[in-house]
């Protein structure tokens, strides 16, 4: 039994309290300042309105100002804020996290520093004090929060800086329905977790293209093009992961293929993709149809766009291998049209570099 603090009472932070409680742990759920209503609802009715689920009776809800109190005796911290909340969370953890306590990020995203792409666990770690560092981990893999809260079979990868730590933490949080596989490929898992949203937005364009295609035959779908985009997405994810120092094998496991699969089945990234496929430009679609929604793939595109361009210029990334990534970034960041260059797909790294130099 461990004392586990979850910081951030959004859907994922709240859903994770279900397996953590089932695994026998004492769980404290601390809302951000934005989560006051959610925490009030949990206190009053044990019900999370956005997750549309009850939380276990034993989960103790805390408000933002009670973080210091909630942190007392904590053995492990989960961070459930979204990527925009990371800087706030870093400040709060710097002030309250006891030395030696590991942090597991549920937060997904990437940042560009102009020269390279940074993963969020490293962004967080850089903000912590020396004694607080060394234990920042991340979780990837197909895990829709509502399904996890309903105890659906869910399989994820827990990645961190060393094998002993991830083995111990995986063992700690595993339940008969929450299958947690340890990995030391933190870079691979985090890059996949962020890029899958961006690529799902690309796969989602096909739904819109289908709707506006001439109604030659109503029953004919567009599974062929969607599947080719799916395969190309994995191809490009491998390139980015490998160039950033991660492992290609991560891309073909739960964190890459598994999470991309689930993200292409439903969700906000797909919905945005559909609007673009219908012919609307990104800024209009966002303003008219999704102004209240965080479209994670678009946020990631905006966060890394300039850095990706710089990395292609410096040959740290190979643009020839990344036609889908660059097309999606152009749609999101430049209001570009859906322009899929099928004939440029599946460029091989080994071949493409000499070709560029010719």
Task: Give yes or no for residue 192 binding its own copies (CB under 8 A).
Answer: no
Q: Phi, psi (5° rounding) for residue 115?
A: -115, -35
Contacts of residue 198, Cβ cutoff 8 Å, sequence gap at least 6:
269, 297, 298, 300, 301, 325, 328, 329
Identify residues 70-89 at the interface with its own copies (CB under 8 A): none
Q: Which is nearer to its own copies, 90 or 139 (CB)?
A: 139
Distance CA 138, CA 161 (A): 10
In terms of CB distance, is 292 or 343 closer to its own copies? 343
Query: Residue 308 has which token pair?
Result: 């990706």
Q: Which of 77, 226, 321, 331 binds its own copies (CB under 8 A)?
A: 226
Number of residues that bind its own copies (CB under 8 A): 51
The answer to whether residue 144 forms part of the interface with its own copies (CB under 8 A) is: yes
Helix (H) or strand (E) segment spanning residue 155: strand 154-159
Site membership for its own copies, residue 272 (CB under 8 A)? no
Q: Which of 39, 55, 50, 102 is nearest to 76 (CA)?
A: 102
Coil, helix or strand at residue 243: helix
> For residue 201, what are the CA distances in angstroms to 254, 295, 296?
19, 9, 9
Q: Give the per-residue contact string, 200-219, with its own copies (x = CB under 8 A; - = no).
A: ----------------xx-x
Minimum separation from the CB atom of position 158 to its own copies (A): 12
Nearest to 12 by CA among 303, 301, 296, 302: 296
Give the HSE-up count for residue 103: Cα atoms under 13 Å, Cβ half-sphere: 31
Stretch that binds its own copies, among 32-40, 118-126, 136-144, 323-331 (CB under 8 A): 136-144
Establish if 343 lies at the interface with its own copies (CB under 8 A). Answer: yes
327 binds its own copies (CB under 8 A): no
What's the token pair of residue 35? 């989560």
Of 54 and 133, the one with the shorter C-beta distance to its own copies is 54
Comparison of 86 and 233: residue with beta carbon closer to its own copies: 233
Q: Is position 153 an interface residue for its own copies (rule: CB under 8 A)?
A: yes
Binder to its own copies among 194, 234, 276, 317 (CB under 8 A)?
234
Give the residue carrying structure tokens 């749609």.
331
> Which residue from 143, 197, 205, 269 is in contact with its own copies, where contact means CB under 8 A?
143
DSSP 159-198: E-S-HHHHHHHHHHH--SSEEEEEES-HHHHHHHHHHHHH
Q: How far is the CB of 95 from its own copies (least distance, A)?
A: 35
Binding site for its own copies (CB under 8 A): 52-53, 141-144, 146-148, 150, 152-155, 179, 181, 216-217, 219-228, 230-231, 234-235, 238, 251-254, 256-259, 261-262, 264-266, 340, 342-343, 345-346
């Amino acid at each position: 039994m461990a004392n586990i603090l979850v910081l951030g009472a959004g859907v994922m932070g709240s859903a994770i309290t279900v397996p953590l409680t089932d695994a026998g742990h004492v769980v404290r759920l601390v809302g951000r300042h934005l989560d006051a209503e959610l925490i009030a609802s949990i206190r009053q009715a044990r019900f999370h309105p956005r997750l549309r689920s009850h939380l276990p009776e034993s989960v103790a809800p805390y408000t933002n100002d009670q973080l210091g109190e909630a942190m007392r005796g904590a053995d492990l911290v989960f961070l459930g804020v979204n990527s925009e909340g990371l800087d706030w969370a870093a400040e709060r953890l710097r002030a309250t996290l006891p030395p030696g306590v590991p942090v597991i990020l549920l937060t997904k995203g990437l940042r560009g520093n102009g020269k390279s792409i940074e993963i969020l666990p490293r962004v967080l770690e850089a903000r912590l004090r020396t004694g607080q560092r060394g234990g920042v981990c991340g979780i990837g893999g197909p895990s829709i929060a509502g399904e996890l809260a309903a105890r659906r079979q869910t399989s994820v990868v827990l990645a961190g800086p060393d094998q002993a730590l991830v083995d111990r933490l995986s063992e700690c949080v595993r339940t008969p329905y929450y299958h947690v596989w340890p990995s030391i490929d933190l870079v691979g898992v985090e890059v996949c977790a962020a890029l899958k949203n961006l690529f799902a937005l690309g796969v989602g364009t096909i739904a819109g293209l289908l709707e506006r295609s001439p109604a030659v035959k109503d029953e004919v779908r567009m599974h062929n093009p969607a599947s080719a985009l799916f395969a190309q997405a994995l191809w490009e994810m491998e390139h980015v992961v490998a160039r950033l120092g991660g492992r290609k094998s991560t891309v073909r496991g739960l964190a890459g293929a598994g999470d991309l699969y689930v993200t292409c089945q439903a969700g906000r990234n797909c919905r945005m993709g559909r609007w673009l496929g219908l012919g609307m430009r990104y800024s209009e679609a966002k303003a008219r149809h999704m102004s209240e929604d965080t479209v994670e793939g678009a946020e990631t595109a905006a966060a890394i766009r300039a850095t990706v361009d710089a990395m292609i210029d410096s040959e740290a990334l190979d643009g020839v291998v990344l036609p889908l990534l660059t097309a999606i970034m152009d749609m999101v960041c430049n209001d570009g049209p859906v322009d899929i260059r099928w004939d440029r797909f599946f460029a091989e790294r080994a071949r493409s570099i000499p070709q560029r130099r010719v």
